[in-house]
Amino acid sequence: MNTVDIAIVGAGFGGIGAAITLKRAGFGDFLVFEQANHVGGTWRANTYPGIACDVPSHLYSFSFALNPDWSDTFSGGQEIWDYLSACVDRFGIRPHLRLGHPVHEMAWDDREQRWRLETAHGVFSARVVINATGPLSDPSIPDIPGLDSFRGTTFHSARWRHDLDLTGRRVAVVGTGASAVQFIPRIAPQVGSLTVFQRTAPWVIPRRSRPISRVERTIYRTVPGAQRLVRTALYWSREALAIGFLHPRLNKRAQALALAHLRRQVPDPVLRAKLTPTYVMGCKRVLLSNDYYPALQRPNVDLVVERIREVVPDGIVTVDGVTHPADIIIFGTGFHVTDPPVRHHVRGRGGQTLAEAWTPTMRAYLGTMVAGFPNFFLLLGPNTGLGHTSVVLMMESQLHQVVAALRHMRRTGLAAIEPDPVAQQRFAEFLDAKMANTVWTSGGCTSWYLDANGHNATIWPGYATGFRLRLRRFRPADYRPVPVLEEV
Ligand SMILES: Cc1cc2nc3c(=O)[nH]c(=O)nc-3n(C[C@H](O)[C@H](O)[C@H](O)COP(=O)(O)OP(=O)(O)OC[C@H]3O[C@@H](n4cnc5c(N)ncnc54)[C@H](O)[C@@H]3O)c2cc1C
């Protein structure tokens, strides 16, 4: 069996950030297992036309690796992917990578007090696991009756079929979320016809992006502190946006702005009515676009708001009995966020799976550790998502806590720790109380933030700063050493 001190699973922002943080903190014995053949995670997998981040690039990057060369205030996917690859090289992470290594099972050995990882290339034993498999990495395709009977081609936007020429084809897009509003304007001029199936109208605000000039980039590269100053200003302006999510009655101005954007871009009152959201802004992810509404008004584009009843060999039938012919169906239907497949493949103390521990809902102490799962850290675990700013900030806060835990174990000679169930429960109650009056619970929508029971197990109900302050200190009393299994 191969042995390593720390196993990181996943090589997206989280896994790469973890690797760099460990190395900088003096924990050099680690491997990063990635199922794909390249690093990058989200930014490797999602290559659809128009892909870009929707928080400013200066914030959507590591605080310890600012990039003075961003070409746009909201960078495209390829540039973010290149940035992550460059970080891997700059911080000497490449020798630690095990690409093409899917981890099939992770099980805690009570006797050895170590994790056993079954990968496609053999078994590894690790003292600590940092799980960075990503909250948005498993595409979700709705279970529509008749889908198997479709004669054309179907794919999810996170697995874009670049080999497929859409020119002149009849294309149906299911879903109008963050990815769809980015790729619809790009494919609309190319396809023969485009039918967009909308379940709920999203809130769309103008996208205030612009190219970053050569002069600005030179300043960032040469003037010490200049880029950090810009980042700090952006950080606080984004933090201010959370106010509307936490206190929905203060959302009125932002909603008025979005409705004005809709009025300006969509003169037709019938179409505008279909595109007017019926819930409070922020309840679902707010989308940024200047070209989505114009794309929907092209003569070859049709917005359908009737529910889908079934798929037939040559199209999609809605509940009103109308058949919408299609050669290709593209799903922009999001990811398995509250039901990540990885939960079935992680076994903690006594063989309990994460799926069992997370019934009826996902819980984790500080969104990072789960009672019964020793030395197992989750990056972007339950309730660490954000609607207003970069999740990289959340990951970095978590990594601070991970390093503090590792140092605590080293200092005290503990082989394994896990959160005290009482501390975990206390944290869960704190989250539920904070969540109560936010837009996600009172905004009148159903969103991917909610699990099957309607519980919000995804979003951090606060400011990124609040999370950071909470995770800055390591509280030994909230953790407990793991007992060794007695020989019988
Ligand atoms: C289209 C899109 C746009 C986004 N835009 C933004 C944005 O603008 N701002 C923002 O804050 N967030 C955004 N997000 C959220 C984004 O997912 C996170 O910001 C971030 O990229 C997550 O990084 P991660 O490392 O946690 O997960 P990922 O990037 O998903 O990486 C997880 C990695 O784990 C690997 N993996 C999974 N299971 C296994 C296994 N069993 N064995 C081995 N490897 C495995 C996967 O192959 C993947 O490479 C966006 C998400 C999407 C999908």
253-291 pLDDT, tens per residue? Answer: 899 999 999 999 999 999 999 999 999 999 999 999 999
Give span(s): CATH 3.50.50.60, the chain: 2-138+336-483, 147-208+231-331
CB 387 within 8 A of CB 462: no
CATH code, residues 147-208+231-331: 3.50.50.60
Residues near 402 by beta carbon (within 8 Å), at least 6 away in sequence: 18, 21, 130, 368, 377
- Of residues 133, 116, 136, the one with CA closest to residue 125: 116
Structure tokens at 145: 């009756």
Residue 453 pLDDT: 87
Check pocket membership of 136 for ligand 1, CB cut-off 6 A.
yes
Q: What is the mean pLDDT of the chain?
A: 96
d(CA 22, CA 16): 10
CB 440 within 8 A of CB 456: yes
Asked if residue 249 has pLDDT above 90, the reply is: no
Residue 483 pLDDT: 76
Amino acid identity of residue 33, one-letter, is F
Pocket test for ligand 1, best of 42, 46, 84, 376 (most atoms within 8 A of CB): 42
CB 107 within 8 A of CB 352: no
Residue 251 pLDDT: 86
Pocket test for ligand 1, best of 44, 137, 377, 402 (most atoms within 8 A of CB): 137
Residue 302 pLDDT: 98
Structure tokens at 184: 């619809």
Check pocket membership of 137 for ligand 1, CB cut-off 6 A.
yes
436-476 pLDDT, tens per residue? Answer: 989 998 898 988 888 888 899 999 999 999 999 999 999 99
Amino acid identity of residue 437, one-letter, is N
User: Which class would CATH give 2-138+336-483?
Assistant: alpha beta
CB 195 within 8 A of CB 302: yes
d(CA 105, CA 11): 17
Residue 446 pLDDT: 86
Q: How confident is the model at residue 67 (pLDDT cuts 50, 70, 90)?
A: very high
Tally of helices (H runs) and strands (E runs) in the chain: 14, 20
Q: Is 174 helix (H, G, I), strand (E, B) or coil?
A: strand
401-417 pLDDT, tens per residue? Answer: 999 999 999 999 999 99
Asked if residue 61 has pLDDT above 60, the reply is: yes
d(CA 461, CA 429): 12
Asked if residue 218 has pLDDT above 50, the reply is: yes
Asked if residue 486 has pLDDT above 80, the reply is: no
Which residue's CA lies nearest to atom 18 of ligand 1?
Answer: 391
Asked if residue 384 has pLDDT above 80, the reply is: yes
Check pocket membership of 99 for ligand 1, CB cut-off 6 A.
no
- Higher per-residue pLDDT: 472 or 485: 472
Q: Tell which atom from ligand 1 comes closest to the C-alpha of 119.
A: 42
Terminal Cα-to-Cα distance of the chain (whole angstroms): 25
Check pocket membership of 33 for ligand 1, CB cut-off 6 A.
yes
Bridge partners of 195, per DSSP, are: 172, 302
Residue 487 pLDDT: 54
- Biggest CA pair distance of the chain: 77
d(CA 231, CA 455): 33
165-205 pLDDT, tens per residue? Answer: 999 999 999 999 999 999 999 999 999 999 999 999 999 99
Asked if residue 306 has pLDDT above 70, the reply is: yes
Check pocket membership of 13 for ligand 1, CB cut-off 6 A.
yes
Q: How confident is the model at residue 488 (pLDDT cuts 50, 70, 90)?
A: very low
Please state, for a pLDDT cut of 90, what percent of the chain lies above it.
Answer: 92
